[in-house]
Chains A and B, each alone.
Chain A
Amino acid sequence: MNSSRPAVPLLAWRPLAGILFRQIVLYRRSVPRWMEIFYWPLLDLLVWGFLTLYLKKIPSFMPSAVTSLLGALLLWDLLYRAQQGISVMFLEEIWSKNLIHLLIAPITPFHVVGGAVLSSIVKVLLSSSVAAFLAYFLFSFKIFSLGLHLFFFILALLMMGWALGILTTAVILRFGQEAEVLAWGVIFLFQPFSAVFNPVSVLPQVAADISRAVPASYVFEGMRSVLVQGRLPIGDLFMAFSLDFLYVGVALFVYSRVIARARQKGFHLKLGS
């Protein structure tokens, strides 16, 4: 049977723009949302910045190792925001009883994720830019001293954040709003194994083994290598991206399975009610 109006192409830009538009307008008007983007990064920056000022005065500390703490903080916050950007956007759709409108629209559940990824990029850029400016202004730390490597570090961390965000979304979809605490907490499960502020070499063996399966650990090791030794182990970046692709693939697979299961069991229809 012919259809009188052609279906929305899978790669049409407007549906993604629609999802992004809603997020941007939401943030444009909401002071609490702006605080969420800037408040915590600013506080973290001040706490860790003051610590680095103190550590720099201790003669036995290497200045480059101390300043790498601020680099680690900025990059960690970026990972956290990327994960939250996906999970919290999904939660906002549930809270505003809007999710069903999206699920009946001529888009796939992957468009919803795509829109969330775009909006998380906008939020991360805003948050990180302000944090990077303040780090320079208050503590003379230049994140751009990481050079071109910075772009790859950021991309690798964003991918890990998105994967965890999609996975968290799938869990919330499956188990309901009882699981929404994961949107804020899941990333901290990975923090001890991400070698954010310390090298993997200081971890106990078991923790070190786990950290080898965490993409962020390679990024933070790479960052320290650039800041302290002035060179980037390419192998670290390769491992980070390889694991990232695995994480994203697994997250998308789980998300698609949960959506398919939801259409069988209807648990998505009770969300937000």
Chain B
Amino acid sequence: MALGETPEVLVAQEVRKRYTKDGPWAVDGISLVLRRGEVVSIVGPNGAGKSTLIQMMLGLLVPDSGSIRIFGTEMATGRRKVAHRINYASTDLSLPYSLTVRENLTAYALIYNMSNIRERIERVLVALNLEPFRDVRVGRLSTGQVARMGIAKALINDPELLFLDEPTATLDPEVSAQLRATLQGMVRDRNMTLLYTSHNMREVERFSDRLYLMNRGRLVAEGTVPALMTRFDTEDLEALFLQMVQRERESDE
């Protein structure tokens, strides 16, 4: 941590966003904090506003009101000042299929203005068990290998804050477990902060230090998994998730 930096990596305050003037709020007054070295999950049903929130955190979208600061920089206006310290992987995105794993990583190492590109690529390939595929075109990789390739791209700049949008959605349980272990190691060794979305509640239970539960653009609960389960008297996160969504639906009616 540099002199003057606080442990808060990301601070969102009263963030609101909607896509049409009179439409519903996709994100409605969300405030949250991410601290250095923690794994935080955002969970919620489809349409809860998770993707919109992450896109604003990445600077892809500008909030209608409120503020998102990463490393103290307002993302709506200063994204480029901190973009080299963050990265993102999502199953919705891909990389050019006709380039090999190494070529794709080389391109992104250059785009992120990295030096020691060969060593950096080898390190990422080893971390994600992708060394045997370094010279294989992305189009010839399996779905799981493509997902790991996306994460390899997201690690190429040694991000201090990493956003992963459903990274294990296409992976089998064994590969998912390996990936979680790899990411946990990176969080521990590099003091990296990880913001994670998933529909796999068991994974979120095992993986997260804290979680935020979203529904209809709002945060409806926040805390550690054990604290939330005690507070809402549920046995697991899935039951908690269903209970919260049901409660919200009833209150709307």
Give A residues with C-beta under 8 Å from B.
1-5, 7-9, 12, 14-15, 17-19, 21-22, 25-26, 29-30, 92, 96-98, 100-108, 263-266, 268-269, 273
Contact = CB atoms under 8 A, between A and B. Distances in A.
A34 to B, nearest CB: 13
B94 A96 contact: yes
Nearest to B117: A14
Interface string B45-59: 000000010010011
Contact of B95 (A14, A19, A101, A266): A101
Nearest to A267: B19
A22 B84 contact: no
Interface in B87-134: 87-88, 90, 92-99, 103-104, 106-114
Contacts of A8: 80, 83-84, 112-113
A18 to B, nearest CB: 3
A245 B19 CA distance: 35
Interface stretch (B1-9, B194-202, B216-224, B225-233): B1-9
Contacts of B171: none
B98 A18 contact: no
A108 B111 contact: no
A102 B88 CA distance: 11
Contacts of B72: 1, 3
B62 interface: yes
A25 B103 contact: yes
B158 to A, nearest CB: 9
B22 to A, nearest CB: 14
B71 interface: yes
A2 B107 contact: no
A9 to B, nearest CB: 8
Contacts of B104: 22
B61 interface: yes
Given A7-B81, A103-B60, A106-B83, 4 more contacts: A3-B5, A22-B99, A98-B96, A264-B61
A101 B110 contact: no
A263 B95 contact: no
A14 B111 contact: yes
Interface of B: 1-6, 19, 52, 55, 58-62, 71-73, 80-88, 90, 92-99, 103-104, 106-114, 153, 160
Nearest to B100: A25
Q: Which of A12, A17, A18, A103 lies at the interface centre, i.e. has the most chain B CB atoms within 10 A of its CB?
A: A18
Contacts of A18: 106-112
Given A17-B110, A105-B112, A4 B84 contact: no
A264 B59 CA distance: 10
Given A3-B71, A104-B88, A264 B62 contact: yes
A15 B19 contact: no
A107 B80 contact: yes
Contact of A3 (B6, B62, B82, B94): B82
B111 A96 contact: no
Contacts of B52: 266
B96 A14 contact: no
A7 B95 contact: no
8 contacts: A1-B73, A4-B1, A26-B99, A30-B98, A96-B97, A264-B61, A266-B55, A269-B60
A265 B6 CA distance: 32
A46 B106 CA distance: 40
B59 A104 contact: yes
Contacts of B4: 1-2
Nearest to B17: A266
Contacts of B90: 100
A104 B109 CA distance: 14
B231 to A, nearest CB: 34
3 shortest A-B CB distances, which residue pairs?
A: A18-B110, A1-B72, A4-B2
Contact of A7 (B58, B80, B94, B106): B80
Contacts of A14: 110-111, 113-114
B114 A101 contact: no
B33 to A, nearest CB: 15
Nearest to B110: A18
Contact of A96 (B82, B96, B103): B96
A7 B92 CA distance: 27
Contacts of B92: 97, 273
A101 B153 contact: yes
A101 B113 contact: no
Contact of B111 (A2, A3, A102, A273): A102
A106 B97 contact: no
Given A1-B71, A101-B95, A19 B111 contact: yes
A264 B64 CA distance: 8
A37 to B, nearest CB: 16
